Structure 1
């Protein structure tokens, strides 16, 4: 693989991660109650605990996306 292909790969990975993170965040904000009821019934978690679990999930996903896609892309672009 050439360097331009690797840069392109990390760039598209970053775009996909950002789209998934944004979609999940918007969906949780726009449809909080129906999603909370669904997850509560599927997983047996009380609805009161779900907002903290959602926040934790989005935070962990953001860190993973930054470390595995965005940071390498930026580093490769700076080379």
Structure 2
């Protein structure tokens, strides 16, 4: 069974790992945009404008999900303990 301390540690590490992945993804899209676009246009037959919008939506949604499901519960449990 999970203790409160174990759950807090799990959410803390999960938040850190997810934000690190978000940062790496954002940096990759910023600095390696052309190779990434080339790969995705060949795989999914999308144009550059659609891919730019898709990348932005992905990053925004992923950030919201990290905040809602990792960061907010972590902060709430830290306040409670």
TM-score by length of 2: 0.93
Q: Which residue of 1 aligns with 2:13?
A: 12
Unpaired stretches in structure 1, ≥5 consecutive residues? none
Alpha-carbon distance, 1:48 to partner: 2.3
Which residue number corresponds to residue 26 of structure 1?
Answer: 27
How far is 1:51 from its partner? 0.8
User: Displaced runs of 4+ in structure 1, greater than 3 A?
Assistant: none
- Give the number of equivalent residue pairs: 79
Q: 1:77 & 1:43 partners in 2: Cα distance? A: 43
Q: Which residue of 1 aligns with 2:70?
A: 69
Compute the TM-score of the two structures, normalised by the length of structure 1: 0.96
Alpha-carbon distance, 1:47 to partner? 1.7
Indicate the RMSD between aligned Cα atoms, in angstroms.
Answer: 0.7
Residue pairs, 1:35-46, within 5 angstroms: 35-46=36-47
Q: Secondary structure at the match of 1:48?
A: helix
